[in-house]
């Protein structure tokens, strides 16, 4: 971060002008350092949603929404998704570099050895209703891990943070699979150390004690790509939540549980669930034959009908993750022979319209990663309510990397946003008979 220029802020209310340093990052917009604003002027900035505010220094993930570019530690997401597996990406996000052969073997082995969860977690799980939303279960289970690992609770101890990171990355697939199996009344499948991270997850999800699970490499690779594409996404709502939560010094399990809770929202991690619910609704209302009626409602601002899974708040061009997920989507549909499934026919018809119809092209409402990842997960057999839990599984490593970066930053402080107060001014309490 370099400082070469300054910004001058002038006022019309008589407050003297103030100068602020301008910081230049490696790439991306310059940043005006306003930390001394309140001390110099007695004024705050007003930025609902923090859309114009850089809350931290970070060297993890970079997004250029106009170009449709996503970099993890400088590597384009396209290259990582095509040439690496999820464990490579986890190592990269945590350590800043891709692993060599020996480092990868050590890291994979370490994660594999921590995939089991304490057996008491089963009793905790049984306290939930069987029909509880998986994200309600995951919020409880992840936060509950705080009670099982008192040896890795101190955020200020790097060794303890490292142990927590491995435990969280390793155990999230086990917890998600447990939440799924519990919901359908099926027995848990324990991890199997001879399988890779994603194949192990697929077996815990879809295996049963009656027969040996057959690993399908196409489906495992598809799920692995979903994990890679969702591993981090800069300072989004859930990542900012994890950072804010951890800034108080709370334990890493509590901070990640806060991220899980934030991710649950339909405007964030729940977007692919909302997308599949939309496809199901279109099917219930007549399917492909009636898709024109649905599109007409989308174009009508007064109809209240929204097109889910298209466009992105950050990417003003095509979502780079969507291109990769589109390839995977068609690979999975071909592998499973599902191109003629009614729901997937609707999805492909919607995709065609969005890529060709001038209304959508002009507004850059391209299919995004949620659209394709939802279709892939549905095809693999993952129930719609579980989509966001799988997103949380994938994003855990990004949350941890961001948390670790913040704690190691000498400039970090406990988060304390300000406000523009517009409530009642000072007033006195009247006796109850005079109110």
pLDDT tens, position by position, 245-272 = 999 999 999 999 999 999 998 878 777 7
Residue 2 has pLDDT above 70, yes or no: no
Residue 1 has pLDDT above 60, yes or no: no
Name the helix (H) or strand (E) containing 362.
helix 358-362
Residue 351 has pLDDT above 90, yes or no: no
254 φ, ψ (degrees, to nearest 5): -65, -40
Task: Count Cα neighbours of 62 within 13 Å in the Cβ-side half-sphere.
Answer: 15
Mean pLDDT score of the chain: 92
Mean pLDDT of 93-111: 98
Choose among 382, 385, 374, 377: nearest CA to 279: 374
Q: What is the set of active-site residues?
A: 312, 370
What is the pTM for the complete model shown?
0.91
pLDDT tens, position by position, 132-170 = 999 999 999 999 999 999 888 888 899 999 999 999 999
Of the listed ranges 45-54, 89-98, 303-312, 373-382, the one predicted with least confidence: 303-312
Residue 116 has pLDDT above 90, yes or no: yes
Of the listed ranges 82-86, 106-110, 381-385, the one predicted with least confidence: 381-385
Mean pLDDT of 308-337: 87
**pLDDT interval class at 342 (50, 70, 90):** confident
Residue 95 has pLDDT above 70, yes or no: yes
Mean pLDDT of 377-391: 93
The two tokens of residue 226 are 């979903």
Give me the percent of the chain exceeding a pLDDT of 70. Answer: 99
Task: Characterise 189 by phi-psi region: left (phi > 0), alpha (psi -120 to 50), beta (else).
Answer: beta
Q: How much of the chain is helix, strand and coil, in % rounded to 5?
A: 55, 5, 40
193 φ, ψ (degrees, to nearest 5): -65, -20
Residue bearing the bigger pLDDT, 318 or 166: 166
pLDDT tens, position by position, 193-221 = 999 999 999 999 999 999 999 999 999 99
Mean pLDDT of 377-385: 93
Residue 317 has pLDDT above 80, yes or no: no
List all residues 6 or more positions away from 358 whose beta carbon is below 8 Å from its beta carbon: none
Output DSSP code: residue 116.
-
Q: How far is CA 75 from the centre of its chain?
A: 19
pLDDT at residue number 200? 98
């Amino acid at each position: 971060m370099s400082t070469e220029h300054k910004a001058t802020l002038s006022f019309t209310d008589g407050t003297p002008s103030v100068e602020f340093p301008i910081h230049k990052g490696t790439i991306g917009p310059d940043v005006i350092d306003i930390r001394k604003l309140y001390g110099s002027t007695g004024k705050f900035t007003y930025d609902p949603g923090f859309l114009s505010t850089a809350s931290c220094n970070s060297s993890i993930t970079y997004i250029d929404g106009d170009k449709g570019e996503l970099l993890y530690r400088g590597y384009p997401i396209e290259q990582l998704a095509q040439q690496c597996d999820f464990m490579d990406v986890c190592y990269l996000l945590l350590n800043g570099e891709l692993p060599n052969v020996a480092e990868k073997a050590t890291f994979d082995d370490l994660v594999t050895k921590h995939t089991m969860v304490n057996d008491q977690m089963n009793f905790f799980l049984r306290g939930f209703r069987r029909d509880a939303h998986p994200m309600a279960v995951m919020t409880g289970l992840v936060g509950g891990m705080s009670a099982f690992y008192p040896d890795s609770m101190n955020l200020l101890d790097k060794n303890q943070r490292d142990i927590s990171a491995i435990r969280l990355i390793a155990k999230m697939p086990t917890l998600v699979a447990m939440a799924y199996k519990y919901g359908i009344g099926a027995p848990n499948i324990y991890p199997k150390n001879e399988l890779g991270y994603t194949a192990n997850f697929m077996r815990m999800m879809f295996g049963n004690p009656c027969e040996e699970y057959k690993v399908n490499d196409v489906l495992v690779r598809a799920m692995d790509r979903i994990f890679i594409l969702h591993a981090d996404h800069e300072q989004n709502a859930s990542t900012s939540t994890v950072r804010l939560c951890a800034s108080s010094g709370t334990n890493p399990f509590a901070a990640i549980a806060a991220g899980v809770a934030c991710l649950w929202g339909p405007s964030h991690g729940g977007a692919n669930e909302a997308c599949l619910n939309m496809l199901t609704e279109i099917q219930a209302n007549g399917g492909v034959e009636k898709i024109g009626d649905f599109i007409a409602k989308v174009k009508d601002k007064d109809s209240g009908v929204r097109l889910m899974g298209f466009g992105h708040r950050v990417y003003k061009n095509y979502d780079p993750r969507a291109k990769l997920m589109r390839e995977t989507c068609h690979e999975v549909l071909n592998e499973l022979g599902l191109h003629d499934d009614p729901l997937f026919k609707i999805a492909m018809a919607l995709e065609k319209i969005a890529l060709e119809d001038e209304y959508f092209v002009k507004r850059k409402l391209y299919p995004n990663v949620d659209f394709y990842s939802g279709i892939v997960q549905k095809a693999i057999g993952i129930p719609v309510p579980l989509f966001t839990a799988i997103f949380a599984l994938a994003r855990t490593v990004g949350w941890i990397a961001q948390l670790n970066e913040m704690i190691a930053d000498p400039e970090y402080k406990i988060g304390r946003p300000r406000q523009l107060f517009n409530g009642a001014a000072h007033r006195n309490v009247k006796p109850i008979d005079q109110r």
